[in-house]
Amino acid sequence: MNWNDIASVAVTLFFIMDPLGNVPVFNAILSNFDSSRRSRIVARELVLALVILFVFLFTGNAILGFLGLSESSLSIAGGILLFIISLRMIFPKTTSRDEIEGAEDPFLVPLAVPMIAGPSTIAILLLLSSSQPGRMAEWSISLFLAWLATMVLLVASPQLMRVLGARGARALERLMGMILIILATQMLLNGIRDFVNSL
């Protein structure tokens, strides 16, 4: 196993899952629940998200084959999608209080999907599983490590918000967004290169 690649993919997935950006939203949506109920909801949503991500990781080739998609098209689309999401991390859209209070017990949506198992995370997993299917064990470890780090941050989110404050969390999320923009640009360039070479 190549642990450098595992660590690199895990860090990328962790940035894309954006737990620091999700901390304020998780806290706002779950603010009306007591601590024990809140912990159960967070654990349930995290497990659901992990299951969904593993399904896409292990069915990536089948999905791409069924839809007739090439790796270059997935790489280009994933790069564009990741770029847009990175911009939203740097220039966030404010969530209204009505939208937050509208959810009572947020089963699956919006905490598990799309906040953790979002479209950009799924696109990266599809690309990994289709481009290097012989390394599924390594990608599984990467996904689990990224999910584990996300879980730790989200479970400890009340204490984290007290330590960082709103401005500190916002600054860290913007830094993550800048790193993701670089990754998205490279992903887009790789897809364009592969497409040109295939002509």
pLDDT of residue 198: 86
Residue 76 Cα distances to 1, 14, 73, 136, angstroms:
28, 21, 5, 22
Residue 78 Cα distances to 40, 52, 86, 131, 156, angstroms:
32, 18, 12, 13, 30
**Which tens digits make up the pLDDT trace of 23-38?**
877 887 887 888 888 8
DSSP string for residues in 81-142: HHHHHHHHHHSPPPPPHHHHHT-SS--STTIIIIIIS-HHHHHHHHHHHHH-GGGHHHHHHH
Q: Which one-letter amino acid corresponds to residue 85?
A: I
Report CA 34 to chain centroid distance, whole Å: 27
Residue 19, preceding bond cis, omega within 30 degrees?
Answer: no
pLDDT of residue 94: 61
Q: Is 196 helix (H, G, I), strand (E, B) or coil?
A: helix
The CA distance from 166 to 134, in Å, is 42
Give every residue of the chain whose pLDDT is below 50, as ranges.
100, 102-103
Domains of the chain: 3-198 (1.20.1250)
pLDDT of residue 47: 96
